[in-house]
Amino acid sequence: MKVPFEKLDKAFENRLRLQIMSVLMVNDRYDFNSLKELLDTTDGNLASHLKALEKEEYIIVHKSFLGRKPNTNYEATEKGKAAFRLHLDALEKLIKQQKIN
Amino acid sequence: MEEKEIHDELASIRSLMERSSKFISLSGLSGILAGVYALIGAAVAYKYIYTKVSEIPADINHIPTKAFFYDSDINTAILFLSVVALIVLIASIGTGIFLTMRKAKQKAQPILSSTSRTLLFHMAIPLITGGIFILIFINNGYFGIVAPTSLIFYGLALVGASSFTFSTVKYLGLCEIALGLIAACLPIDGLLFWAIGFGVLHIIYGSLMYFKYDR
């Protein structure tokens, strides 16, 4: 039995990162606070996983100011979108394989 | 990784994609109620126009609705009809906001998210444009354009907003546009088309949404 585990992206091993990426797949940009609310998580947790995705160059950060409040937006890069699709494909293959076995 | 785990993962991805990009807390019940208000408003307006106006000119087809009123009556008539329209509008929006907030709470979806803001923005452009356009024409005495134009601009607003919410909204929008164009060909029956578009269509749409998503 050859399961293509190696094809699963290590960056998406964490569930929250995968969730962040799925939001950024369907929205051009999404801001920090909306992400926090949607994913029901804490500032620190979300920030650290966003950092990790940024380090992989899967997302880019846009910082701006709304009045005096800082407003941070995130956008998925082409590299990130490609990686996400590959990861989903790998998940799909895993399911198919397990059905056969 | 277990198969169930993968399935959960995929389900969570799908739900997030939908919840983050579409506003799914629109209430079907508010559509039904908005339709009922519109029908009541149209009935009141109909009664007013056809009891107050004793004489209908013979060359009715060539004259905008303005001709229904004697000049001295025009201002009172406009005022009365505007108040009716305003009450219908405020009641519909109020009910819509109340029921949508209630549903957003149930669905644990924030009511003012970037999605709902985008939705409102895309609706506001054609609605405000249409509203100003209609006011300009009313000011010039072309009352006949109110029904077709409000239907058409409302339809455009719905089609424009539909990519940020249920896709059923798009079909409602297309129906409103078609109805508006037909109404434009038959200006005399403006009130009837207005009642169909804002009353009957909303009730049908609201019921569909109610049975499909609300329960």
Which of B13, B14, B105, B115 to mutate to test binding with chain A, by most A CBs within 10 Å of its CB?
A: B13
Q: Does A47 touch chain B (CB under 8 A)?
A: no
Contacts of A38 in chain B (CB under 8 A): 16, 19-20, 110, 113
What was the pLDDT predicted at B126?
95
Q: Which DSSP helix (H) or strand (E) runs through A61? A: strand A59-66
- What is the tally of helices (H) and strands (E) in chain B? 8, 0
Which of A8, A17, A26 to mutate to test binding with chain B, by most B CBs within 10 Å of its CB?
A: A26
Confidence of residue B18 (pLDDT cuts 50, 70, 90): confident
Structure tokens at A73: 């937006």
Q: Count of CB atoms within 10 A of residue B84's CB?
A: 17
The dihedral of CA B7, B10, B15, B18: what is its sign? negative
Contacts of A95 in chain B (CB under 8 A): 3, 6-7
B166, B209 Cβ separation under 8 angstroms: yes
What was the pLDDT predicted at B176?
96
Q: Does A19 touch chain B (CB under 8 A)?
A: yes
- Out of B6, B16, B115, name the one closest to residue A22 (CB): B16
Structure tokens at B170: 């798009």
- Per-residue pLDDT tens digits for A5-50: 666 788 888 889 999 999 999 888 888 988 898 888 999 999 999 9
pTM for this entry? 0.73
What was the pLDDT predicted at B49?
78
A59, A69 Cβ separation under 8 angstroms: no
What was the pLDDT predicted at B1?
57
Q: Which DSSP helix (H) or strand (E) runs through B16? A: helix B3-21
- Per-residue pLDDT tens digits for B137-175: 988 888 888 999 999 999 999 999 998 888 889 999 999
- Per-residue pLDDT tens digits for B125-135: 999 999 999 99
Least reliable range by pLDDT among A95-99, B114-118, B162-166, B193-197? A95-99
The interface predicted TM-score of the complex, written ipTM, equals 0.75
What was the pLDDT predicted at B156?
96
- Per-residue pLDDT tens digits for B169-215: 999 999 999 999 999 999 888 889 999 999 999 999 999 988 887 66
Q: Which residues pair with residue A72 across a beta bridge?
A: A63
Residue labelled with tokens 């209430």: B27
Average pLDDT value over all residues in chain A: 86
What was the pLDDT predicted at B71?
54
Q: Which DSSP helix (H) or strand (E) runs through B120? A: helix B114-139
Residue B106: partners with Cβ closer than 8 Å, 6 or more residues away? B25
Higher pLDDT, B88 or B10: B88
Contacts of B19 in chain A (CB under 8 A): 38
What was the pLDDT predicted at B115?
80
- Per-residue pLDDT tens digits for B44-63: 988 887 776 544 444 444 44
Q: Does A15 touch chain B (CB under 8 A)?
A: yes
Q: Which residue of A lies nearest to B108 if distances are taken between CA atoms? A: A38
Q: Which residue of A lies nearest to B14 if distances are taken between CA atoms? A: A22
Rounded-to-integer distance, Cα A37 and Cα A26, Å = 17
Contacts of A88 in chain B (CB under 8 A): 10, 13
Rounded-to-integer distance, Cα B36 and Cα A15, Å = 46
